[in-house]
Amino acid sequence: MSTDDQIEEIVKYCPYKMKTVGFYPAFLIDPCVLPLKETDLSEVKSFGKYATVILKSSKPLPHGHYARLIITYLTTEIARRPELPSHVIANSVSDLFKQVTGQKEISGGTYANFMLALERVFDITFTIEPTAKSKDKLRRRGFFAEADNLLGDHHLGNYNAKYKEVLYTPSNSFKTLVAYQKSIISIDLRFLKLARSKDIVLAHDLYIYLVRRGYEKGGVSFVPWVTLHKDIFPYLKMLELSRFKRRFTRALDLILTCHPNAGVSIASSDLGILIAPSNNFLRGKKLDTS
């Protein structure tokens, strides 16, 4: 399917009818703590209104499209079948790659990058410290997966298991987090895969951020460029404000092309963006697929 066809499908058809609704952990958004590009950082800390989030790893933190798509896929698997201790998430590693990314062709380079992102996601330790403004006072700490997982010798020791089922065993801490409804954000998996095909990593985080803000607010909210630049998208704070706005606008254009009724716009004063209280990101023009 071409990118134009992908966009047309997202615009027309509701993800609930298309069964493409997925879930993403809320603690990774606002501020967006996962690196956009490759970095040597093995620990980051973000300061949100309701929580301070710390990500630690023994390796450089995962980044880019693959990390976000992998985390989305794993979160979605748990949310759909929370009662399962483990999940068969693909018929093979190559099948997992195709399901997660939406890519039909696998090259050596893309496969290696995907496996590296998968390994790094599983190596993360997350800590969520509630602030004084949070109603949830519980401190949470955990991992995305148990140590004995699909990267163990039984499955991928010498990359000989491309055609074996892929088993995912989430940690109890992550399962508990996903089970708490306010800890995950509903998103359209089709859009995240489109953002990857367009190679606009910022569009992942901006889309999820806008979905969340649209659900949280009771009226139209205004977010200044300065706040977006410094607080919400911290990995772009090294850019001049004008360059940040160009990057931001490019990502927003893709989002609004797919979701023209989302109720998000750049303020007429050009001092920030306006976000309407709606859930139109998860609606299409048609109520069914006929």
pLDDT tens per residue, range 240-287: 999 999 999 999 999 999 999 899 999 999 999 999 887 678 877 654
pLDDT above 60 (res 133): yes
How buried is residue 113: exposed, middle or buried, by Cβ count under 10 Å (0-12/13-18/19+)?
Answer: middle
Number of domains in the chain: 1
73 within a domain of the structure (yes/no) = yes
288 within a domain of the structure (yes/no) = no
Q: For residue 165, how far is the Cα from the chain centroid?
A: 24
pTM above 0.85, yes or no: yes
User: What DSSP letter does each residue of 220-279 carry, written as one string?
Assistant: -EEEEHHHIIIIISGGGTTS-HHHHHHHHHHHHHHHHHH-TTS-EEE-TTSSEEEE-S--
Q: How far apart are CA 244 and CA 233, in angstroms?
A: 10
290 within a domain of the structure (yes/no) = no
pLDDT above 90 (res 186): yes
Q: How far apart are CA 102 and CA 98, in angstroms?
A: 5
- Tell me the average pLDDT of the chain: 88
**Bridge partners, 9 (sequence order):** none
Q: What is the mean pLDDT of residues 8-18?
A: 92
pLDDT above 90 (res 167): no
pLDDT tens per residue, range 119-128: 999 999 999 9
For residue 277, the model assigns a pLDDT of 83
223 within a domain of the structure (yes/no) = yes
217 within a domain of the structure (yes/no) = yes
Task: Specify whether the backbone of 102 is left (phi greater than 0), alpha (psi in -120 to 50) or beta.
Answer: left
**How many CB atoms sit inside 10 A of residue 250's CB?**
14
pLDDT above 90 (res 232): yes
Residue type, 218: G
Record the tokens describing residue 107, joined without a space.
């090259």
3-state secondary structure of 75: helix
Which has the closest alpha carbon to 250: 210, 212, 200, 204?
200
Dihedral angle of Cα 193, 195, 199, 203, to the nearest 10 degrees: -140
User: Do 75 and 102 contact (CB within 8 A), yes or no?
Assistant: no
Record the tokens describing residue 169, joined without a space.
């065993």
Identify the domain containing residue 277 by its residue range: 3-282
pLDDT tens per residue, range 58-75: 999 999 999 999 999 999
287 within a domain of the structure (yes/no) = no
How buried is residue 62: exposed, middle or buried, by Cβ count under 10 Å (0-12/13-18/19+)?
Answer: buried
pLDDT above 80 (res 112): yes
289 within a domain of the structure (yes/no) = no
257 within a domain of the structure (yes/no) = yes
